[in-house]
Chain A
Amino acid sequence: MLSIFLFILSGVLVGYLIRKRTFVKHVSSIISVIIVLLLFFLGVAVGANRQIVESFANIGLDAFAIAFATTTGSVLCAWFVYNRFFKEKKKTP
């Protein structure tokens, strides 16, 4: 797990040092390409795993439940913060 932080931190350092170079503009496209590659690998790992393929309906249901619960939690907290801290300011333009 430590390696995750080390790679991000060294990236942050390099990014800060080269923030004025034009290279930085290409970083998001590089990221997209790597993500496409890794998601393809993930797809292959899933397709090759009979257990996952057979329980795909269950996996999808669990995913939906987690998505619903986390989104609802965040929306309710947003409602509280909006009413408590942001609403008044909007009334006085």
Chain B
Amino acid sequence: MKQSLIYLSVFALGVLLAIPGIIPVYFIENDISKWILFTLLFFVGIQIGASRNILKVVKSVGLKIILVPVATTIGTFVGAITISFILNERSVTDCLSVGAGFAYYSLSSIIITEYRGAELGTIALLANIIREFFVLLLAPWMVKYFGNLAPICGGGATTMDTTLPIISKYSGSDFVIIALFHGIIIDFSVPIWVSFFLSFK
């Protein structure tokens, strides 16, 4: 929660400084941000390569644990396709690439901005932050009506960090391992899915 507020304030600061033209536009209209993005992806890769224990977790819960990130992915994509018919201005692949952020708003919005521009990038940032807040605020209600896995699938990539405490509280500590595994898998799939959907024009 604290981290998302920091990110949102930094974004808002950029907006407020740019509206009156305090920061010149040429500051962002160059290749620097692209290379910073590549550096970011490289470090995200390091995090993936250095993480262990995934196989151990699969063994302790059983193979059915794989169904949890699969459910998240299918549900999100069906939801994104459905809403694209209601939002006339947004194409199916635009909605899918925003949805494929799975609440990992920082990385998804940055990649989308680089390849589709700031408008869809901002939608990705807001949509994925809102998704995280849905889980933070509605987790007890989700568990009550849709079972213990609901806040995990709802939380997407955040279930390994920001939403983990609330999942542990309402789904129970038995589900912490599932939430961690799920978060890691979804986290790693975000840049792959986002760039996949962006490759369709």
Identify the A interface with B (CB < 8 A): 1, 3-5, 7-19, 24, 27-28, 30-32, 34-49, 51-53, 55, 59-60, 62-83, 85-87, 90
Contacts and interface: CB of A to CB of B under 8 A. Distances in A.
A79 B149 CA distance: 7
A35 B40 contact: yes
B16 interface: yes
Contact of B123 (A39, A66, A71, A79): A66
Contacts of B67: 81, 85
A85 B90 CA distance: 36
B40 A16 contact: no
Contacts of B199: 1
Given A68-B134, A70-B76, A78-B71, 9 more contacts: A8-B41, A38-B40, A39-B10, A39-B11, A66-B83, A67-B128, A68-B83, A71-B76, A81-B68
B5 interface: no
Contacts of B149: 78-79, 81-82, 86
Contacts of B195: 1, 4-5
Nearest to A37: B36
A66 B126 CA distance: 10
B168 interface: no
B173 interface: no
Given A39-B125, A69-B80, A46 B40 contact: no
Given A7-B42, A62-B90, A32 B131 contact: no
Contact of A15 (B38, B49, B95, B99): B49
B54 interface: no
A1 B45 contact: no
Closest 4 pairs between A and B when the two form their complex, measured CB to CB = A11-B45, A43-B14, A15-B49, A47-B18
Contact of B87 (A15, A18, A65): A65
A42 B128 CA distance: 15
17 contacts: A7-B38, A7-B45, A8-B41, A19-B51, A34-B43, A40-B11, A43-B12, A45-B118, A63-B123, A71-B131, A74-B72, A74-B79, A78-B68, A78-B147, A78-B152, A86-B64, A86-B147
